[in-house]
Amino acid sequence: MRAACVTVTLLVASTALPVPSAAQGPGAPPAAPQRTIQQSPPLTIPNTTTFLGGIPTGPATGEVVTISVIDAIRRAIDHNLGVLTAEQGVNRAGGARWRALAELLPNVNARVSETRQTINLAAFGFGSSVGSPFVGIPSIVGPFNVFDARILLSQSILDFGATDSARSASHSAEAARNTFTSARNFVIHVAGNLYIQALAAAARAEAAQAQRLTAQTLHTQALDLKQSGMIAGIDVLRAEVELNAQSQRTSTAANDAEKAKLQLARAIGLPLGQRFRLDPNLPELPDPDQTLEQAVETAYRNRPDYLAQLERVKAAELARRSIQDDHLPSLRVNADYGAIGLTPSEAQATFGVSAVVDVPIFNGGRTRGQLAEAEADLRSRRDEADDMKAAIFYEVQTAFLDLQTTREQLSVATKARDLAAQQLVQARDRFAAGVASNIEVVQAQEAVAVASEQYISSKYGYDLAKGALIRGTGTSEMILRQITGGSR
């Protein structure tokens, strides 16, 4: 890689070898391999849409299976596309680490060759011109055979740049492992959210169906009262319009519930076409027992995505140092041992050992350009780490705000739902008694619909807020183990 350098070769021991037919022929020690500067890999910002995909596994059964939220999370950990992609990132980073370590580990090769050649001795100064001591020696020697069987060894003894490059790759590999852990934590959050959203959609569909049945009963009641002459035809029409509206809401809510289940099925990798039902019994998530400051500190210690960013910063620092250290001399030992002769039966053992010191002098500004790139890469890594630290603070603070708000909303929405139900009963009784029109009944029905939606949003929103706080503090897998009794 060094464009220009002073190479000092220290010959340790060797036996006399025949003149090869090329610059490096049989028996020549291996040249020092050129090293590629290991840059820290570019930051891969997780694509959240990747975690909405999954790899379907197994054939679908004819039965309708029941899937709990824990089942959904376990399936997502095993089959979600985001987790599988992050796992391959670990393997890829491990491969890069081995490539960097290869610059420091021994390189051993075996070679067997047999050559048929002629040599022009005049090209090496063995001319037969007048006055030459080699008069009478022909210029062309051969053709003759050269057989060579040899083991070659090359070992780096001192290379500061390669050492820092290997350490940088180790930090990149650790960052990939933390990213994989982060993906597992995130998919727990995604699967849990999708499951709760599917439950909420199912609850809305059930509420809409109940409201449609109520509207159907009121419409029938209006027809009976109209036939008995107690109400006008406008009341029947009003009841019919309300029934149609509730039927449309029921159809829309049922469609949304099925689509929410399909999205969940894709994320957790269910077999294509597998029918399933949701288990409405959700495990009770622990209420936070930390202050905002304590939760933020917990997040900084536990969030694997933040730890991965810190590892990327260390990798970028070592990558820059590796380029700087590439200006320093390096020492490599080359050795070979084998047998060489005109034929295999005549081959005799020979060996060669040499120590090579490379001293970089000038490489046309390549190092300067690489150093500028590494500096920019390091600044980007530090900025990304600082940005993620701030993002974690705001994410945890937002989760605390949502938790407090949804807790209060749930309390209010529960009372509002009960009140709306009582008002609907009273409105129906007043309408049946003929003391009020069904305008009051329709308004009460709409109030029930609004109160039901607020209750559903608050009930499942509270669970989502607690899940968001768990995700924000980086304790998703720990809470999962607590809920499942220690199993994954």
Q: pTM for the complete prediction?
A: 0.78
Q: Is 60 exposed, middle or buried (0-12, 13-18, 19+ CB in 10 A)?
A: middle
Tokens of 7: 């190479």
Is a pLDDT exceeding 50 seen at residue 339? yes
The reported pLDDT for the residue numbered 137 is 72
> Can you tell me the mean pLDDT for 99-103?
90
Beta strands in 94-233 (DSSP E): 107-120, 140-158
Pick from 127-131, 218-222, 263-267, 475-479: least confident = 127-131
Label residue 141 by pLDDT band (50, 70, 90). confident
| C-alpha–C-alpha distance, residues 63 and 204, integer Å | 25
Closest CA to 45 of 167, 151, 186, 163: 186
| C-alpha–C-alpha distance, residues 224 and 231, integer Å | 9
Helices (H) and strands (E) in the chain, counts: 9, 7
The CB-side HSE value for 53 (13 A sphere, CA atoms) comes to 9
- pLDDT digit string, tens, across residues 409-423: 888 888 888 888 888
**Who's near 169: CB < 8 A, 6+ residues apart?**
38, 93, 96, 97, 99, 100, 101, 315
| C-alpha–C-alpha distance, residues 24 and 107, integer Å | 18
Q: Residue ranges of the domains in the chain? A: 62-104+159-332+382-483
- pLDDT digit string, tens, across residues 46-59: 456 788 899 998 88
Tell me the average pLDDT of the chain.
Answer: 84
| C-alpha–C-alpha distance, residues 110 and 115, integer Å | 17
Place of tokens 């055979």: 145
Query: What is the secondary structure of 179-211 as a DSSP string?
Result: HHHHHHHHHHHHHHHHHHHHHHHHHHHHHHHHH
Is a pLDDT exceeding 50 seen at residue 23? no
Domain 62-104+159-332+382-483 in this protein, CATH class: mainly alpha
Tokens of 188: 């727990």
